[in-house]
Amino acid sequence: MSEEVSQPADDATDSAERAFRAGFVSFVGRPNVGKSTLTNALVGEKIVITSEKPQTTRRVIRGIVHRPDGQLIIVDTPGIHRPRTLLGERLNALVETTLGDVDVIGFCVPANEKIGPGDRFIDERLNDFPRAKKVAILTKIDSASQTEIIDQLTKLGAMREWDAVVPISSTEDQQLDILSEVLLDLMPESPALYENETITDESEDERIAELIREAALAGAREELPHSLAASVDDREEREDGLIEIYASVYVERDSQKGIVIGKGGQRLKSIGETARKGIEELLGQRVYLSIRVKVLKEWQRDPKALGKLGF
Ligand code: GDP
Ligand code: MG
């Protein structure tokens, strides 16, 4: 095979002439429409929590897509929703500051669910950010029929004058390259804003804590997600290269502590095993992980506790 040889010469000229672009993009949409999965798929490394449960992404995390002709910095927001607690209010404030600052907003709607009031609520909020270019992203096209996809694209197109409309599947890697290109085309001309190897600027400890939180949430009952937080308390590298990590999982009530720990500690043990595998992949080193479960009463409503957990 001689693919390299047969590559047309003007291809190289083209990309050399195209101006380098860099900028910020944020994906918005109802919970569970696939924002985090999309971020992960574009960046190519697991950095954002995905989960079956709504609203597990609680932090603004940046993922960076490096391309020869530009850089896409993805700001993952917790999602726009009605505030119910102090945590909810802070999350909404975070969304506002984030969106006021991005070059492109990607509005995500799943192909396999009807556009509803939740989508329209968010779409209307996009008017508050006139500076940002707006792209409609139809997600999960692998789980919808051709007719459904076309129907949904028509409805999306009628909502507003989008700068682009792109159907994608993150799990089946459909049209992700096209989406990257479209997003990059809408970015301002700019030199690279981050070093080439940077994938996220979230600290390693925070990423470890997210992995633990994600493991604790997997298979958890509905009542748990909003009351779970995790932190890394201490890290120590042993002489044999093993890294000892001491972490805490916070719940709000004693009853929840029992749920996380499970009968005879079985659930906590499997949480630890799952999280450890993810952390070892992240760090590229063997890990000893110790997790303690602590009750922090009503932490979602307590400013001091929120501060301690980095919100
Ligand atoms: P978020 O709340 O918008 O961040 O949504 P997530 O990224 O956490 O995804 C919610 C659920 O949708 C998860 O179970 C994902 O596995 C699933 N999902 C995300 N993208 C796709 C996709 O392209 N195809 C399919 N079939 N499922 C997807
Ligand atoms: Mg998410």
Nearest residue (CA) to ligand 1, atom 6: 34
Nearest residue (CA) to ligand 1, atom 9: 34
- Higher-scoring residue by pLDDT: 57, 300: 300
Atom of ligand 1 nearest to the CA of 108: 3
Nearest residue (CA) to ligand 1, atom 2: 32
Residues, CB-to-ion distance under 5 Å, ligand 2: 35-36, 57
**Does 169 contact ligand 1 (Cβ within 6 A)?**
yes
pLDDT for the residue 25: 92
The total of other beta-carbon atoms located within 10 Å of residue 217's CB is 19
Same domain, 84 and 37: yes
Q: Which amino acid is at 291?
A: I
Same domain, 75 and 172: yes
Q: Is the pLDDT of residue 182 over 90?
A: yes
State the sign of the Cα–Cα–Cα–Cα dihedral 84, 89, 91, 93.
positive
Same domain, 259 and 170: no
- Buried residues in 68-101 as b, exposed as e (16+ CB within 10 A): ebbbbbbbbbbbbbeeeebbbebbbebbeebbee
The total of other beta-carbon atoms located within 10 Å of residue 207's CB is 20
Same domain, 147 and 264: no
Question: Mean pLDDT over all residues of the chain?
Answer: 80
Task: Please report the DSSP string for 261-291 in residue order.
Answer: H-GGGHHHHHHHHHHHHHHHHHHTS-EEEEE
CATH of the domain at 218: 3.30.300.20
Q: What's the CA-to-centroid distance between 6 and ligand 2, angstroms?
A: 42
For residue 61, list its beta bridge partners. Answer: 76
Total domains in the chain come to 2
pTM, whole model, 2 decimals? 0.62
pLDDT for the residue 228: 82
Same domain, 175 and 209: no
Tokens matching residue 106 = 């990607």
Nearest residue (CA) to ligand 1, atom 10: 32
pLDDT for the residue 112: 96
